Structure 1
């Protein structure tokens, strides 16, 4: 079996570095939607701000595509605005 090339090694290393960031993005989004469904708009607002910051930072570092970050934050804003109009 041939040894992995330098590019393969770099790819594996970057994957391991990006993994916790992607996990954090999923977790903060999940917590936002949990707070929203519980009716805690104040906590949801804090989590939305944290999620927006995390998505923007990940997009800047190239972990996710900038359009994906914009789409996700837009959906968070829309969900929060919808819950405020219902209450």
Structure 2
């Protein structure tokens, strides 16, 4: 994915009842783990996956290669579900 972003019908929302971040879409609520939330909150449609992974690697002081793989997996899964656009 070159510059991923959330699909127009999807949005991040903090659910007070669940005390966690969720991804809302028509007839769907996906409860996000910390990794997915860290990735999705940075999606703006202007930064490619490599830049996104580099920013996360710096923030969490982790190897960029490992972070990049996690980012690709999360985004690809959500792309297949129609919640992220390339």
| Same topology, TM > 0.5 | no
TM-score by length of 2: 0.36
More helix by share: 1
| Bigger radius of gyration among the two | 1
Q: TM-score, normalised by structure 1?
A: 0.36
Larger strand percent: 2
